[in-house]
Every structure is written in structure tokens, then in C-alpha cells.
């Protein structure tokens, strides 16, 4: 059943062809802006964050490939779930003979896989064609990278699902959505690699769950992190976030009152 839900999530986003094409163009343009910014920065600091210039360029295009895949600033399945809680349609979801968390996880994974293939691949290939990038030559590293991305998808869902569940109490998603956007862009390393963050502040952001989204897959791809260590970090946060979501969901749905019924 959950495989069918994931397939449905994939097909649903595949129907928005114009939006996908616009997203590819937008990610490519932002990639170009960031690449030239990074090139200027790495000219001044050639080994910032332990990366050379080719690795910094690779990090930029990888970030653009994963931006929508991991819903870095929100806008995945959690957005629809927030709306369903606010309108009371969540009651229908609770009547389904399916686990609420697993249902939305499957749907979001389907969305994420489509976004990676439909919106992420083209900007990454564009970057590889026109800029020097630090890409591995062996298949094993690419497979390890794909696993890291899949774990990053689960961590991303865990963060956003917790935010969505807050609607049971807040009933207004604007503040939560803004918080998701800011923390997602900044703490995931979308703006600057987390390796480049200085001192104690850098130590803190590198152990937060957002580090599992871009930083870990990037380091696995470029050989800066052992895959097993990266997986352990990502899996630990995935389990912790899903468990926290399960607990909050249990508290929130213990007594649900739907307006009008």
C-alpha cells in the first residue's frame, strides 16, 4: 500500500511539467550565481572548510540538485498536511486503515524522488559540463552517495512532519513555514558549506539534523566522509525525528475535535 502511495506522490508531481521546467531554470540560474560567488570566495581562502575550489563548485551544484528534492525551505508533504489539519480534513486520514506517519512519509518520498530526477539532474549535469567538479570515477562511491541522499530524504521528512503536527495546536502555518524556510536554508548548508562555519557555532550546526541533508551526501560524494559514519549520523537523526513525530502524533490525535462534527 505504501509503495502505491509513494508512486502516487511521484505521478502527482510529474504532472506539473511547466513548474518543473521553471524549477530547472531557476536552480540553474541560482547555481551560476552561487558558483561565481564561491569562486571569488575560494580565491581569497583556497581551502575554506577543507574544500578546494573544485569541491566547492561541486557542493554548489549538488545543493541545487537537492534543493527541491529535500524541500530545503519546506513545501513538501508537510504543506498539504498542515492544510488538512487546519480544515479538519485530517479526520479522513485518521479513518484510513493506514498509519498516518507512514502514509505521509511514503507520499513525500515519491515527491522527493521525482524532484531529484525531474528537477535536480539537469542543473547538476549542467554544472559538470561547464565547471571543474570533484566527481568520483567509481560506481561504489555513487551508490554510497545515493544511499546518503535517501537517508537525507527521511531526515528532511522527519523535520517537516514535526513542524506540520504543530498545527494541531497553532492552527496557523505562517510562522512555522517561515521558520522551516530560514532554518532549512541556513542550517542545511544551502548558503555555505557547514564545514566553513567557524568555531563553536560550526561545531553545533554540524551535529544538527539539517547537516544530514546536504553536507553528509556532499562529503560522501567527494570522499570527505566515510559512508558508514555518515549513514550512522543520518540514521540516528532519522530514527529520533520519526520517534518524536510518532509521540507528538499520538498526543495530538488522542482527542481530535473537528468543527461541525
pTM: 0.92
Q: What is the rounded CA–CA span in Å between residue 82 and residue 161?
A: 9
Task: Give the percent of the chain with pLDDT over 90.
Answer: 66
Residue ranges of domains in the chain = 2-252
Q: Binning pLDDT at 50, 70 and 90, where does residue 76 land?
A: confident
**Among residues 111, 139, 159, 132, which one has the least CA distance to residue 59?**
132
- For residue 67, give the 3-state DSSP assignment: coil
pLDDT in tens, 86-108: 888 888 888 888 889 999 999 99
pLDDT above 90 for 130: yes
Amino acid at each position: 500500500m505504501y509503495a502505491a502511495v509513494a508512486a502516487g506522490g511521484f505521478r502527482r508531481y510529474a504532472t506539473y511539467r511547466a513548474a518543473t521546467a521553471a524549477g530547472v531554470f531557476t536552480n540553474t540560474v541560482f547555481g551560476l550565481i552561487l558558483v561565481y560567488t564561491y569562486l571569488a570566495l575560494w580565491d581569497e581562502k583556497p581551502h575554506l572548510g577543507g574544500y578546494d575550489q573544485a569541491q566547492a563548485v561541486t557542493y554548489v551544484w549538488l545543493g541545487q540538485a537537492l534543493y527541491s528534492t529535500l524541500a530545503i525551505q519546506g513545501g513538501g508533504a508537510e504543506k498539504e498536511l498542515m492544510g488538512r489539519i487546519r480544515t479538519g480534513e485530517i479526520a479522513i486520514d485518521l479513518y484510513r486503515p493506514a498509519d498516518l506517519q507512514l502514509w505521509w512519509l511514503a507520499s513525500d518520498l515519491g515527491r522527493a524522488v521525482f524532484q531529484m530526477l525531474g528537477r535536480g539532474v539537469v542543473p547538476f549535469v549542467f554544472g559538470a559540463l561547464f565547471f571543474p567538479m570533484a566527481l568520483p570515477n567509481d560506481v561504489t562511491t555513487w551508490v554510497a552517495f545515493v544511499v546518503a541522499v535517501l537517508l537525507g530524504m527521511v531526515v528532511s521528512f522527519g523535520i517537516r512532519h514535526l513542524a506540520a503536527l504543530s498545527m494541531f495546536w497553532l492552527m496557523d502555518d505562517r510562522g512555522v513555514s517561515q521558520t522551516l524556510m530560514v532554518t532549512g536554508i541556513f542550517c542545511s548548508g544551502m548558503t555555505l558549506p557547514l564545514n566553513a562555519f567557524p568555531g563553536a557555532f560550526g561545531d553545533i550546526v554540524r551535529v544538527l539534523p539539517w547537516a544530514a541533508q546536504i553536507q553528509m551526501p556532499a562529503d560522501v560524494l567527494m570522499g570527505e566522509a566515510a559512508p558508514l559514519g555518515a549513514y550512522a549520523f543520518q540514521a540516528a537523526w532519522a530514527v529520533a525525528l520519526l520517534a518524536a513525530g510518532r509521540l507528538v502524533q499520538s498526543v495530538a490525535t488522542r482527542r481530535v475535535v473537528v468543527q461541525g462534527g
